Amino acid sequence: MVTTQDFKSRMHIDWCPGCGNFGILNALKRALTQLDIGPDGAVVVSGIGCSAKLPHFINLNGFHTLHGRALPAATGIKLAVDDLPVIAVTGDGDGLGIGGTHFIHTARRNVDIVHILHNNAVYGLTTGQAAPTTQRGMTTKTTPRGVVEEPIQPVPLALVSGATFVARTYVGDMEHCVETFKQAITHKGYALVDTLQPCVTFNKVYTYDFYNERVYHLRDVGHDPTDMKQAMLRGYEWGDRIPLGVFYQEEARPTLGDELPGLEKGPLCKRDISDVDISHLVRPMM
């Protein structure tokens, strides 16, 4: 039987004390444990940032790639090894800044991966610069007179990009976080989980107290996750009330792997390529 201790890494965790990343790490361990998925049963992929250290801090198949490139790497892994859940973890800067285009295209292709977005609304690893999700007017190292742009809203962006599972959770509600991760992992298709996690060092606005006073559950207001229009309206709700839960879920749409003719005979890792000759492709390059 799988236990959370099976995922204990030998690496020292160097996140700031109180960082919301601890909650995400613990919730992921618990979600995998409850789904009876062991250390060899899934893959976690990351880019660059505080969130990107997660593969080092969990005993799980892992791949640490370049800034903003976690999603294309996760796509390649999923197409090659389709029987393992693939979980991409990105920060809001990593995933929505330099990785923003990958975010859109991974959603529209409905790649069968989970995307856990560590959303702290600031660049934490590089010590507190404005990120794509930083609120308008906030003073940071790069915006001494306040942010002048409107922040990106991950939930509506995922919806209009074609994501088939779009949810939000909050590390201050561990049970909800675990259940949301479980739903995302078992969903067939691209699953975004916008995970609110305070940066206790560099964001003094979006704190635990801020979220504790505002978050509410969509399940408590009769939200219909099959209704795209309702999902969009709820997705833009931010301020005095912040919704948590599954905004939208679509089960019937084929994934990218389902649609590719090259995968009709199965995933690449299980194909016999002993008789494949690519010398005619390599020779002109030599």
Average pLDDT over residues 162-169: 98
The average pLDDT across 89-97 equals 94
In this structure, is the dihedral angle defined by the CA atoms of residues 263, 158, 182 and 86, taken in order, positive or negative? positive
User: For residue 185, is it within any domain?
Assistant: yes
pLDDT(204) > 80 = yes
Average pLDDT, the chain: 95
Q: What is the domain count for the chain?
A: 1
Q: Is residue 19 included in any domain, yes or no?
A: yes
CA distance linking residue 74 with residue 62, whole number of Å: 10
Band of residue 109 on the pLDDT scale cut at 50, 70, 90: very high
Is residue 272 assigned to a domain?
A: no
Whether 131 is in a domain gets the answer yes
**282 domain residue, yes or no:** no
Residues of the domain holding 79: 4-260
Does residue 36 fall inside a structural domain? yes
Residue 155 has pLDDT above 90, yes or no: yes
Look at residue 266 and tell me if it is in a domain.
no
Residue 42 lies in a domain: yes
| pLDDT level of residue 278 (50, 70, 90 thresholds) | confident
- Whole-angstrom CA distances from 199 to 127, 142, 146, 212 are 10, 17, 18, 15
Instruction: Find the CATH number of the domain harbouring 77.
Output: 3.40.50.970
